Structure 1
Amino acid sequence: MLDPKKLEELAKQIADAVPPGVRNMAEGAESKVKQILQAQLSRLDVVTREEFDIQSQVLIRTREKLEALESRMAELEAQLETGKPKS
């Protein structure tokens, strides 16, 4: 989910943009705007920053392993071509 602080700030900005007369008529406009924003944003297909960072680290480790395997495979292929193991 999105950062609650940022969501609150956005809700406050929207509530502050509402003219004072209208704001006074609608009690709790800020919390209602926040609820609507949360509902709409939850429908979006997004991930949190934490989830993104975790997946980035997984990808980095996977790339490192792939590079190591490619290097090892190249060594083994070279050994097959020369006919003797590298020691």
Structure 2
Amino acid sequence: MQVENKLFDDLARVASGAAGALSGIRGEVEGQIRQQFERILAQMDVVSREEFEAMKAVAVEARARQEALEERLAALEARLSAAKAD
């Protein structure tokens, strides 16, 4: 009976060690994949989310200014047409 308990204890230690090793390997593989993915993205010259949001804000502001200028131009053209009609 004692031999069986020792055998089960040894098997449990081996299984525990294997689980720990697999956990370490998993972390290492995840790290390697993350590094490779970041390297690929850097080579593709992909912008970050922060850069995208900043440029989006610039584009929205430029669009608003363009629309305001179009309104001013239309008002000036209307005044000019009215002045020519007089």
TM over 0.5: yes
The DSSP-based 3-state class of the residue aligned with 1:83 is helix
**Structural RMSD (CA):** 2.8
Q: How many residues were matched structurally? A: 64
State the Cα deviation string for residues 57-78 of structure 1 (Å, max 9, x = none). 1111111110110000011101
Map of 1:75 onto structure 2: 75
Matches within 5 A, 1:56-71: 56-71=56-71
Matches within 5 A, 1:35-50: 35-50=35-50
Identify the structure with bigger relative contact order (alpha carbons < 8 Å, sequence gap 6+).
1
The structure number with the bigger radius of gyration is 2
State the Cα deviation string for residues 8-67 of structure 1 (Å, max 9, x = none). xxxxxxxxxxxxxx9988xx3333333222212211131111111111111111111101
Give the structure with the higher percent helix.
Answer: 2
Map of 2:29 onto structure 1: 29
The DSSP-based 3-state class of the residue aligned with 1:68 is helix
**Which runs of 5 or more structure 1 residues have no equivalent in the other structure?**
1-21
Instruction: Give the TM-score taking structure 2 as reference length.
Output: 0.58
**Which runs of 5 or more structure 2 residues have no equivalent in the other structure?**
1-21
Instruction: Give the TM-score taking structure 1 as reference length.
Output: 0.58
